[in-house]
Amino acid sequence: MILNLFFVLGVLWVYSNIIEGSVETMNRFKELGKKIFFCTNNSTKTRTELLEKAVFLGFSIEEDSIISTAHSAAAYLKNRNFNKKVYVIGTTGITRELDSVGIDHTPVGPDVMEGTLQQYLSQHFKPEENIGAVLIGFDEHFSFPKMTKAASYLSDPDCLFIATNTDERFPMPNLVIPGTGSFVRAIQTCAEREPLVIGKPNPGICEWLIKRNVINPARTLMIGDRCNTDVLLGYNCGFQTLLVGTGIHHLNDVAEWQSSTDPELKKLIPDVYLPKLGDLLQFM
């Protein structure tokens, strides 16, 4: 019997649009006494902001049950007794979480290229002092100056290289929005270094729950809409996995992986598939 459930917030809503049946299904799980956690790679909001949005939309959620990459990255640095300054490529979701644990950081927002490269380097390039970590999340203002600064700081081998996640992109009707992974890989190429990835599918994001016996992996279900993060996290942690078709991956992707001989692709195959979370409600 499943006792614990990990939800991806994108399974419940997209932007501010509730996915049909998700409120009723998730709240029904709570009524049945299931222990529920919400795991997101979204670094643009703090846990408090995510909680406020979830409650406004009608979900029964507590802040302690939200596992976010911005909060986890700040906690990681705090646990290391980090005492330098963080160069942040991201949003206030990250900087507010850093503020909450007393870690100094650079401001976020636009950092645009002014003039030619020669002009920029001679007149405008002003590196910060005492940078001990580069932390990358989603940043709609990602730019050449930001990549230049990040790679320059990372030329110091003692400077930490941290990424909230490596989600590649967010496909939308008629366009594709670059994800955090696009920015991470650009800097990774330039800096010639590998980042520590905080978010899914890194099992470290929820490993503490297993080590403290808060959850039993064999009795835990991971519910997600992206196989290379959500389902793979479930595989890495020994959870059962459920893919819903309201996000990135669908049954045609699963069918392709099933016919592959690549063992890495086999890890992306979920145990169960449903078109949407609300389809579970009739069986509860």
Strands 35-40 and 4-7: parallel
* φ/ψ of residue 230, rounded to 5: -70, -55
Residues 6+ apart with CB under 8 A from 62: 51
Domains of the chain: 4-41+200-283 (3.40.50.1000), 70-197 (3.40.50.1000)
Please say whether the dihedral angle defined by the alpha carbons of residues 214, 217, 218 and 221, taken in this order, is positive or negative.
positive
Q: What pLDDT is recorded for position 171?
A: 65
**How far is it, in rounded angstroms, from Cα 118 to Cα 121?**
5
Q: What pLDDT is recorded for position 283?
A: 85
* CA-closest candidate to residue 137, choices 112, 105, 101: 105
For the full predicted model, state whether its pTM sits above 0.85.
yes
**How far is it, in rounded angstroms, from Cα 245 to Cα 150?**
36
**How far is it, in rounded angstroms, from Cα 149 to Cα 54?**
36
Query: C-alpha 160: how far from its chain's center?
Result: 19
Half-sphere exposure in the Cβ direction for 117 (13 Å, CA): 3
Sequential pLDDT tens for the chain (284 residues) = 777 888 887 789 887 789 999 999 999 999 999 999 999 999 999 999 999 999 999 998 899 999 999 999 999 999 999 999 999 999 999 999 999 999 999 999 999 998 999 999 999 998 999 999 999 999 999 999 999 999 999 999 999 999 999 999 876 778 889 999 999 999 999 999 999 999 999 999 998 899 899 999 999 999 999 999 999 999 999 999 999 998 889 999 999 999 999 999 999 999 999 999 999 988 88
